[in-house]
Amino acid sequence: MTEATIIPAADARVTRAIELIWREAELLDRKDYLVWQELYTDDAYYVVPIDPDTEDFAGSLNMIYDDARMRQARVARMTEGYAIAAVDAARTVRTVSRFVPESLSDSEVVLRSAQVLIAYKRGRHDIWAADVRHRIRLSESGDRIAEKVVRLVDSEDAVPAAGFLL
């Protein structure tokens, strides 16, 4: 992006997208996964790639590559019955900031941001840091997430099982 193409963060469409991303973070920290999955469009993907530079998610190895069916299955595992991911899940607090608008139209906003997540489990704090890209579809009936790509800063190293969503 050049100086001439800088998109103002004060644009009302960008503000709407940022507010949706903050809402998503709050729902994830509360573990309100049933409401969280409703933030996504039916054709959306939630991706945590291993290769920090890939854009070919379908052709690459990913930690998470969820379409609607896989998001629903993941939420079911975390909310129904006895699942170690749900029973022994860490408590989390995340901060999402450093929003940089990448593209903007009347129907879509693409934002890059930084996410720092602190997870507390069994007397231990872990830090998860990532660069995140959200593609937000704007609509009068409600803005929704069309794509979320979480690029962990340590994605190429061994990453422990999380028991929570990024």
H/E run at residue 35: helix 33-37
Phi, psi of 151 (to 5 degrees): -105, 95
Using DSSP's 3-state secondary structure scheme, residue 86 falls into: helix
Strand 144-152 to 124-137 pairing: antiparallel
Over residues 105-161, the pLDDT tens digits come to: 999 999 999 999 999 988 889 999 999 999 999 999 999 999 999 999 998 887 766
Residue 57 confidence (pLDDT): 96
Cβ–Cβ under 8 Å, residues 11 and 101:
yes
- CATH code that applies to domain 3-152: 3.10.450.50
Over residues 38-97, the pLDDT tens digits come to: 999 999 999 999 999 999 999 999 999 999 999 999 999 888 866 555 556 789 999 999
Residue 30 confidence (pLDDT): 95
Question: Within 10 A of 1 (CB to CB), how many other CB atoms are there?
Answer: 10
**Alpha carbons 163 and 20: distance in angstroms, whole number:** 23
Token pair recorded at residue 40: 């996504």
The residues spanned by each domain of the chain are 3-152
Q: Which of 8-12, 13-17, 83-87 has the lowest mean pLDDT?
A: 83-87
Beta-carbon contacts of residue 87 (< 8 Å; ≥ 6 apart): none
Instruction: Check residue 60 and report its DSSP letter.
Output: S
pLDDT category of residue 1 using cuts at 50, 70 and 90? very low
